[in-house]
Structures are given as C-alpha cells and as structure tokens.
Structure 1
C-alpha cells in the first residue's frame, strides 16, 4: 500500500531542397523536403517569430525525439513529440514526400495515415502548432489535434481528447497518468493500466454530465470547459496572463499533476518580477495534493507499492519506509522493495518473533490493499 503524509505543506503553485543543418525560418515547407537527426541538435526549423522549433532533439545516447519546443528559452522545453515511445538513431530522416505523406524513417507519423491526398505544404506556426495544409491553405492535419503531455494557448481538447503524462522527467514514453475530456462530458485525471494506456482510476474530475463538449486553453491564460453551444460550464484556471510578456503551457507532468506554467519573455515591469524559469507560483494546478487524492481500495497510490508520498515546495516526493529501497532509483514511482529476508509469524517460527519491531511513522495515513487491481482488462 502507499501512505500519503497528512498535513503536508502545499506548494503554490520545407523548401524542395533538403534543409541545411542550421535552423532556418520558413513559413511553408514544400513537398519533397526532408532533414536528418544530427547530434548538434541543429536539425530543426523555426516558426516565423522564432519562438517555436520543429525537428530532432537528442534526449538519450543516440536516441532522438522528433518534437516541437520553445526555442527562445535556455532549456528549450519540449511541448509535443511524435515518437516518445520509439526514439530514433542519429541520421534518421523526417520528410514531407512528393505525395504529401508525412514520414519518419519511411513510416507515416502517427495519425497522418489518411491525409496524404491533397497535402500541398507544411508549416511550423507561431502558436506552436505544426500543420499540414492543402492548396486552399485549409489544415488537414495538425499537432494540436494529437497532443502528447502539453497544451498551449489557443489549443483545445474535444471529447475523447487525451493528454498522457510522460514516464519520467527525462523519458518521453507514455507514462502512468492521463487527462481526458470523456464522452460523458466530464474532465478527468486518471491513472492508466500501465503499461497499457487505458484509464484505470479517476483521482480528480470536473463533472459536466453529458454536456461537456470542449476544454479550451485561451490566449489570456483561461482554461475552461464549454458545452456544444459554447456556454461556460467549468473554469479550471482564471489567471490572466499577458501573451506579450509571458510564454505559457499547461502540462500533465510525470507525477500526475496538471500544472499551468508561465515564463517571462520580456523586460516589462510585470515580467521582471518573475524568475527566468517556468513558474507555477501564482498559477493553478490540479489536484492540489496528489498524495491524498488516491483513495484506491487497492494499488500503489501516487508513488507505487510499499512507498509513502509527501508534498514539498517543489511538488510530491516519494520515499521508502525504513528497511525498504526504491525498486528503480531512476523511476521512484515504481515503488519500494524490502531490504530484508521475509520472516514468518507461523507456529513453527515462534523463535523469530523477538526480531520483529514496530516503527512509528508520524502524520501518516495508509489505506488500501497491497496489490494493484485492473478491472475490465481485455485478454490481449
């Protein structure tokens, strides 16, 4: 079982010719264009303003991610990726074929299988949206419609739209949590039946039964759910943020918390008060305490089996009880394992009872069982 501590501190939140190896600004990317993954991380193209880039990023040894990121900030935060579950090696090629197919190493990029006919060009837009368009400039495919773990201002989630948290801070494969606007109109955060991607346990929700139609993140920083007739149903964030002074993103983090971030991009008086980093100090996040949000009758809670969870200034922290250690120090949410030989309280082992001891864990609450329970998992 997992044990959240009580009363923790809450934290506030393509031209026809191949692309050159240095980033360039193109509005339209022509059919027949391509470029390769290079280790200098310069195999990218910029939006017209230069604020967003599309291309390859090396995130593991000879492991490249085809991604979109903020390009004018030092850490170049990734907001979308095409192959988080399957990194590609150096020299891999992305291309917009002469037939309008969007390909990575000769395979269609996910969810582009039926958009080849009629595609005339591609563009990296200043909104952070990468699009394929036809000769009439109508968008036939866009990264905004297939988000990974992040949404950006002007982006929406329709019914059945899903964000999947990445696995760890540095591993962009699909993780253990999802945010979804369900067909029943409710906006939910849920665990997945990891390593499957289907929902398992809902640990936070905004209920709009049968009428929630769209989740919107507008350019002023508001996040809300509307009905089909566009009437406001629920507000997730009512912060007013200047697009001129701040970058924004809303990300479902690998720890299961959905956070609204801002980053100062100007020297205005309002932006100077903020650190030059992504901040949630006055922005909302949900749930406010993920450690106590898991009330599963079985399962490992926010931190995995045999662990306990605390809230600190920087967010939830996973720890192991005395006598236990992390199964994987690089992935604390896998839970903890015992560092001692199993003991018995049976009739034949009475002599071992003197080696048992109790240790007090202050301000802790443990509930649930020792095992995860997946209901409705298909045989496959």
Structure 2
C-alpha cells in the first residue's frame, strides 16, 4: 500500500515538474530595450533582440519559411508573434551574416550576408546616441539630449498601434498573403478629398471600395470640408478621425492591447489581444460583406457567399495561378471578334452577378435584345450587365474586374463565350471550386542543403513535441473525466445542465397537431392575427411558453413549406423571434415560436403607456440589427416585406424581436423576380417600389424601417391619411417630413425638440433623436438607390450610442 502511495506521489511530482518545464517563464534579466551606437543585432543569434521594458513588444529578426528574415517589431505575448511593423518587407535578408547596425555617424542600417544595404533609416546627418523600443511599440532613435530624431511610427506598414498618429503622408498597406509579407494591393489612407478610404491598387487596376462608392462623403457620414488629415487609435479602443470616421471596439476600455490592421483580404479590422491565450479577437471591421472588396478574386474572378466568401471562375475560365487568387482567372478559349462572326458566339446568363466598373457604354431604357446587340457589335465587349430598375439598363463591359454575386443585385450578367464552350444557359455559382486564400506562399531565398537539413531537424523536433503534448493532454482529460464522474456520481446530472440539454435536444423539431392543440388548450388564448394567420399562446410539455401560429396560406405546397421552414429554423439572432418548430399535416400547418412577453411595439408606442426614450432607441438599434442580419448575413438572404410596429415584439428588457419574417419571403438566388410581384406589406409602411412594379430588393424593408423609426421619435402613427386645405389628402408621414425639412433648412435651433414626442417631457437624447430623424428621412426616399443599407444604419447607431455614453460619463465627472 505504501509502495502504491509512493508511486502515485512520484507520478504527481513528475507531472508537476514537466508542466513547470513547459510553462515556466524564462528569465528576463538579460532583456534589453535599447541599442547603443557602434552596436548591432545579428540574425544568427536568436537572443539578439530588443524588448520593451514592459515586455509587450519585441524587435529583432523575424524568420519566415526556410531562409527569409525580416527586421520587425512583434507582439511578445501573441501566440503567433504577430508583426506590428517591418523594415524590409519586400527584401528579406539571409539567415547567415545579416545584421542591423547603429553606426557612430547616426546611420541605422540593415545589411545582407554580402554586406549590401537592404534598408536604412535616413539619419546619417543627425548624431544618434541610441535606438530604443518603447512600451507602445515605437522604435525610436534618440540623440544625446533624448530627442527623437527618427521613429518607426512615421513609417507604418500594415498596422496602426494606439497613439500612432495617422496623417496624410501615411498609408496602411496589406501584406500579399498569409506567410507572404511582401507589399500587397489593399490600402488604407487619406484620399485627396481628405476622406479615409480603402482602395485596391493592383497591377492592373486601382479601385475604391470603402466607404460605399454609391454615396458621397456626407452620404457615408463623413466630411471632406476639413482640410486637416489626421486620425488616431487610443488606449480605450476608439478611432477618431478628422473626416468624422469614428468607431470603437466592442470591448472598449483600458488595459487591452490592440492593433488596427489592413488585412491581406482587403478588410480593415480592429483586433484585441487575449493575454491568457495569446489569440486575437476581431472587435470591429470596416467591410461587413467581404465580396464588396474590389480585386479580391482578381481579373475575371467572382466572389460568392457560400455562406463564407469564396472565389469562382466564370464558365469558360480557369484560375491563372492555382496558388494565388490575386491573379484571377484566365479564359480557356481564344477570343474572336463577335461583330465579324456573331454566329460563333453565345451569351450565358449569370443571375445576381455583376462586375463593378469598366463599363464601355451605358444605355438606359433599352430591351435585353438591344443590349445584347450592342455587345455583339463591339469586339472589345466581354459581357454586359442588364439591370431591371424600372426600365432596363444596359452596361457593356470591356474588362471583368471586381466580380461578385449578391441577391441584392437587381439584374444579371450575360457573359460572351464561343459556341464551342459547353455550358448551361443559366449559371448558378456556388464558389466550391476554390476558396479565397489570397497568396498563401512561403518565401525561400539563399542557402541550399544546410538549411534543408535544419528544416528537417526542426520537423523531427516538432513531432516529438506534439507527441509529448498529446500524452499530457490525455492525462489532463483523464483527470477531468474522473473528477466530473466523482463530483456527480451520487447527485446525478445537475438540474441546470439537464435543463440545458433538454432545451438543446428540443431546439427545432416537428410537432403533431394534437400536441399543439393540447399546449394551447384547444387554441384558447389568442395573441394576435394578421394576413398570414392567427397566433395563440401555448405551453409545451417541457414547460416552455410558446406562440403558435395557425397558417392560412393555403397556396403553399408541402415541398415549399418544408424547404422554407427548414431554412427559417436555422436563422438565429437575438433580435429575431426564434422558431422552435412546426406542424405539417394534411389539414394543418402551424409554426411554433418563442413567446415574447411584452407583446408588440404598437401596443406601447401608440397607447396611453409612454415608452421611454432609452427603450425607443433600443428598439431602433435592435430592429436595425435584426434586419441587417436578414439582409446581409443569412445564407438565404431574407426580405421581410412587412416591417411595422405590429411585427416588432418586445421582451422583458424591451429588447426588440422581429416577427413574421417567415414563409414565401426568402429571396432565393435562383428565383425569378416575377414570383415576388404579389404585393405584400401594410399600407403606410410599404415602399413605392411595389406600386412602381420594380424588382423587390432589401430596400423595401429599409423604407418600412424608416417609417418605424420616425414613429418612434414622434410617438404617433405616420401612416394615416390626413385632409389638408382644399380637401387634398396626404399621409401624416409626408406632412411630417415637409415640416422637418423646412425647420432644418431655416436652421431652427429647437427643431428636434419641436418634433419629438411631447409625452417624453424633454427626457430624450438630442444626438440620438437627430440621427434617427436623419436616417428615417433618408430611408423613405422614393429613389431607393439613395436609401442606406441596414448594416450602415447599425454601424452609425452604435457609434451614436457610444458617443452618448461618453457624453454622459463626462457630464457625471
């Protein structure tokens, strides 16, 4: 018995010792944060580096591949040694003989193995005493009086750090791809009109893609009247710019390491570092839909959501370089002049596909056949885009760049191909042929066999290390399972865990009609009714309170019902009413939703009970989030078609949940526009697009949302008709907008106070109310191209909410 105890104790001590060896911190006594003149850092000494005094940043030679080294600054505690700055990003040096030297004449020079200068700081004319790595990640050169004469902050690569001033002379330029640190094609900078932009600047084209190119500076919430070009990220995670681009991370606060990086996929992202895991979390990103990034899939390539963004080649094309989407797609045929041989070409229709820009001609109000003839008669025409926005609009294209597929695009691309290319008449892309892995390459230069042997030795070492880690992991798992069994072997599974499992197992399922009849006590308590059916309150066998809708839509076939319900069941967002299941029987079709206790918005907004301002703004923001999810993030892209207060439910915390976004409202990518022609919606909230017989897009929901948020501000129905002088009728909405615009034009100081619901007695945020009115008016514009998108509304309202919080904190101080 004693022997077993000793053996067990020895095993425990051994395990603790191994864990200590693996995870104990290394000694930091030999760390240095400065380099004196006359000294150098060698690429061959792994310990020859500078570390900031707080150990946040490290500066030295950063190895990539087998024999490529960059002089860089990286985050010490990040798992993958994330680079914040790089001196020689386009000219890596050799792993032998390369060094960085601070000469006595002030020159700060990086030399390769042959002594050639690869990079240097322009400080030869200034006496420099030392190079120092500061705690904020800035590498500086100081003279004898301590003055900074050069700093890495003035020469950013792809990353901006807190308190690093970003001015008109600076750019963030992406790397080429994961593992390839060469200068890429995506830029973040102040344009000549003083506005911050994202631009694809590739070998063939240069194209702006953010902010929204369909709007001017003011339409995007920016200003170009300020001639100052300066921006900065602070310690709190706030980014402030002279062009009014202001945003913050979702975890704003002190004590978090952050970086703003121009990523190789063309998106600008704000990251926060988890010190415990060493991993980065995205806290903000500029582009919500990655296919909006120009140049992402190269020449002739098309970006497709599946649901993650992937690149595809059109029919008749193939990848130019299978390892790099930046090079796009190349034709598998020889081009012929269609005007000379029209009988040898054909057009293949690609629904919801467009290539932005490079239009050789634009012809409004012509037929599809006429548009086809224009392309046939032009030898340079490779395709034409035909858009159904009222009258047919024809765009012939000489080049195919910035390709994307989107259900919000109201038209199709007709690709010109030789007859010899076998394709279907209509192409539906799925993006499964290749993903958007932009240039994941390894850089190799210089030495031969010796570096190869070193690489193999490293691989053997890693095999042993992984094997050892696996054994340790298995031991930890054994301890964990044993402890779990010991803890719960007598008491059984805790009630909370059991309930959680029960809810998950019943998350979405098929109910029988008798189950729901019993749950609703024979459909006794009616909650509401609408065009699609009647809703009753019920309690399921697992004691969940639910809302059961009996559908009256008899035209819906069983196949369509099942297909659409299965998709809606996967939609999950905190601002959308959750569907728990359904009933599909020959005579009965019912939907089972979560029960939302505070009923619908109209019962609070238009009744004697006054809804407070904070609750109103919460409803505006939450509803926008829900619609943005439906429009921009769902795999199937849902258009609600009936946004109104009756379909916005409020939970116990007055968080909004959009309901009735269900059947026959999925904007499927292969659906013909004529199938969306049956008018849906409620008078007063319906966009004029229906009456004008325009193709139905997500902008009809934007219009309805605009009416709702204006009603939130005013506190009355704006959809009613009123009689003006001379017995002329107009809606309350039309009259309201006229009054607001008149007050804004004459610059009345109290125009917001005059129009906000008087029942609030002045208790509201003027900043939020003004922004809601501005958005509301732009949302109900008759020209749908001028209506904003829901994701842009969400972003602006979030910034508005944060601004009010900061304002209130300052006032409290």
The normalised TM-score by structure 1 is: 0.74
Distance in 2 separating the partners of 1:344 and 1:118: 66
Please say if 1:161 is aligned against 2:170: yes
More strand by share: 1
The answer to whether the 8 Å contact 1:23/1:42 transfers is no
Cα 1:370–1:66 shift into 2, 3 Å: farther
Distance in 2 separating the partners of 1:255 and 1:167: 9
Distance in 1 separating the partners of 2:242 and 2:341: 65
The residue number in structure 1 matching 2:297 is 303
The residue number in structure 2 matching 1:338 is 331
Please say if 1:216 is aligned against 2:232: yes
Tell me, what secondary structure is at the counterpart of 2:264?
A: coil
The residue number in structure 1 matching 2:512 is none
Distance in 1 separating the partners of 2:195 and 2:340: 53
Please say if 1:181 is aligned against 2:190: yes
Tell me, what secondary structure is at the counterpart of 1:279?
A: strand
Distance in 1 separating the partners of 2:151 and 2:261: 19
Please say if 1:120 is aligned against 2:129: yes
Aligned length: 321
The residue number in structure 2 matching 1:277 is 279
Please say if 1:252 is aligned against 2:262: yes
Cα 1:367–1:157 shift into 2, 3 Å: closer
The residue number in structure 2 matching 1:25 is 31
Please say if 1:241 is aligned against 2:252: yes
The residue number in structure 2 matching 1:225 is 241
Q: How many angstroms does 1:201 deviate by?
A: 2.5
Distance in 2 separating the partners of 1:322 and 1:183: 39
The answer to whether the 8 Å contact 1:132/1:142 transfers is yes
The residue number in structure 2 matching 1:101 is 107
The answer to whether the 8 Å contact 1:166/1:172 transfers is yes
Q: How many angstroms does 1:289 deviate by?
A: 2.5
Cα 1:257–1:51 shift into 2, 3 Å: same
The residue number in structure 2 matching 1:191 is 200
The answer to whether the 8 Å contact 2:194/2:229 transfers is yes
Residue deviations 1:197-226 (CA, integer Å, cap 9, x gap):
xx9332224543343331111111111113
Which residue, 243, 256, 272 being the options, matches 1:262?
A: 272
The answer to whether the 8 Å contact 1:160/1:182 transfers is no
The answer to whether the 8 Å contact 2:186/2:199 transfers is yes
Question: Which has the greater radius of gyration?
Answer: 2
Alignment of 1:67-86 (within 5 A): 67-86=72-91
Which 5+ residue runs of structure 2 have no aligned equivalent? Answer: 1-27, 212-221, 358-396, 402-813
The normalised TM-score by structure 2 is: 0.36
Tell me, what secondary structure is at the counterpart of 1:144?
A: helix
Q: Pairwise CA RMSD of aligned residues? A: 3.1
Tell me, what secondary structure is at the counterpart of 1:178?
A: strand
Tell me, what secondary structure is at the counterpart of 2:260?
A: strand
Residue deviations 1:84-124 (CA, integer Å, cap 9, x gap):
11111112111111222100115667572245522110111
With CA pairs under 8 Å and 6+ residues apart, which has the higher RCO, 1 or 2? 1
Which 5+ residue runs of structure 1 have no aligned equivalent? Answer: 1-21, 228-232, 267-274, 295-300, 374-380
Residue deviations 1:31-55 (CA, integer Å, cap 9, x gap):
11112223x8554321112221111
